[in-house]
Structure 1
Amino acid sequence: MQVSGDDRATFSDEQSPRRLIDTSTVYEGRVWDVVSEQFSLTADGETITRDFIRHPGAVAVLVLNDDGQVLLIRQYRHPVRMALWEIPAGLLDEEGEDFVDAAARELAEEADLTARQWHVLVDLFLSPGSSSEALRVYLARGIGDVPEADRHTRTYEEAEIELRWVDLDDAVSAALEGRIHSPSAVAAVLAARVARENGFIDLRPAMTPWPEHPSRHSTWPRGAVLEN
């Protein structure tokens, strides 16, 4: 079934508050917790229990230079035991920090770069069946270098980061051929390839609201009971 032009405005995900009966933290981690929640789909429906990761969310940056190349970074990821080609990204773990400011901070810390021009490229829930993690990917252009004296000292896995500039079309091929697996990188290069077709004019401004991020939700407070 095709979506007509008149229906596109309503063809979107939406918040769907349900009756929350109970919520508890079953594991407190260094970065994120595992919570268990009991809820019902309707006001008088049966009780359902789901465990999931409560995540602060993250931002990522697809950097595009004047030569049509995107920046990929190679970093070891222990849960999958692989070194992945990714894009600069990081947690939203500084209270009160604007989303785009967090993206600029991560770009400086992981790639020693600045950018003058920012747009929202794509928004994602990375694993909505098991995690509340929301990710906003920005397109950054107008690239500059962070001064040597101001550069971040990278540690642990980040100390091994390798940077590589790759033609956007080559990055798309790598995604479609299964040679890169990072969800943020795959989504970003595919979205950028589509957006490039009309000169990126349809991209959203960097300060576009992000109501899907958990910090912007006004429903499902912990310990509360909500009625439909």
Structure 2
Amino acid sequence: MGNETYRPFDPWRPSPVKENGRKEIFNSHYFNIDHVNLESAASGTFDRYVLHGNNGDTVGVLAVTDDGMVPLVEQYRIPTHRWTLEIPGGHPATPTERPSEVAERKLREEAGYEAKELVQFTRFIDEPSFSSQYTSLFLATSLSQVERAVIGPESPRSDVRLFTPEEAVRLIINGTIVDAKTIIAILRLNNGLLKSIKG
């Protein structure tokens, strides 16, 4: 066998399953859940549950200070009962809030910075096996410090810590940074993201 594939990858080729019905069974501030009934030639009928984010993409902001430091926010995460280090990020507050506006707001509220330059550099599906939710990642540069907001009841005493990109990569390797959007953003930064965007 050679190294050639049988065909180019086509994400939009015909579905192997037929959707027979869908019903929303849960709705919250951040997301809703659909119960979906499906059918396939191999398995017959079966059920799945699909999570949808409300109001559009979640957002993450990779900020880089003028001296090359990356601010990471301490967050206490209830589902895993642990503190994390994350780039600023979050959900739209309304259906009309654009991803770039969410990025500006979260950078200001969580990290205490405003950016003169804000560029989206990637978009990914959070967990495609059970969710349709996308996350958009932005690079923020030419920063100025502003007053932070209170993040929320989960992290009443959160702090912002500054790391070099190399230090942040080491925190990924040793398992300190476990948040997916933060890992993706930092590895892109370490792979020449600033040069590729700024030419």
The normalised TM-score by structure 1 is 0.73
Name the CA distance, whole Å, in 1 between partners of 2:144 and 2:86: 20
- Larger strand proportion, structure 1 or 2? 2
Q: CA RMSD in A?
A: 3.0
Distance of aligned partners of 1:14 and 1:20 in 2 relative to their CA distance in 1, 3 Å threshold: same
Aligned to 1:165: 162
Do structure 1's residue 39 and structure 2's residue 51 form an aligned pair? no
- 2:129 counterpart SS class: coil
Equivalences for 1:141-180 in 2 at 5 Å? 141-146=141-146, 148=147, 152-180=149-177
Bigger relative contact order, structure 1 or 2 (CA pairs below 8 A, ≥6 apart): 1
Aligned to 2:27: 28
Aligned to 1:65: 65
Q: CA deviation at 1:109?
A: 1.2
Q: Does the aligned pair in 1 maintain the 2:72–2:111 contact within 8 Å?
A: no
AA aligned opposite 1:134: Y
AA aligned opposite 2:62: L
Name the CA distance, whole Å, in 1 between partners of 2:14 and 2:49: 18
Name the CA distance, whole Å, in 1 between partners of 2:109 and 2:178: 22
- Larger helix proportion, structure 1 or 2? 1
- 2:167 counterpart SS class: helix
Specify which of 53, 58, 82 is matched with residue 51 of structure 2. Answer: 53
Q: Does the aligned pair in 2 maintain the 1:168–1:193 contact within 8 Å?
A: yes
- 2:154 counterpart SS class: helix
CA offsets 1:52-92 (integer angstroms, 9 cap, x no match): 22223300101011222111011100110100001100112
Q: Does the aligned pair in 1 maintain the 2:123–2:134 contact within 8 Å?
A: yes
Q: CA deviation at 1:122?
A: 2.4
Q: CA deviation at 1:39?
A: 3.2
Distance of aligned partners of 1:143 and 1:124 in 2 relative to their CA distance in 1, 3 Å threshold: same
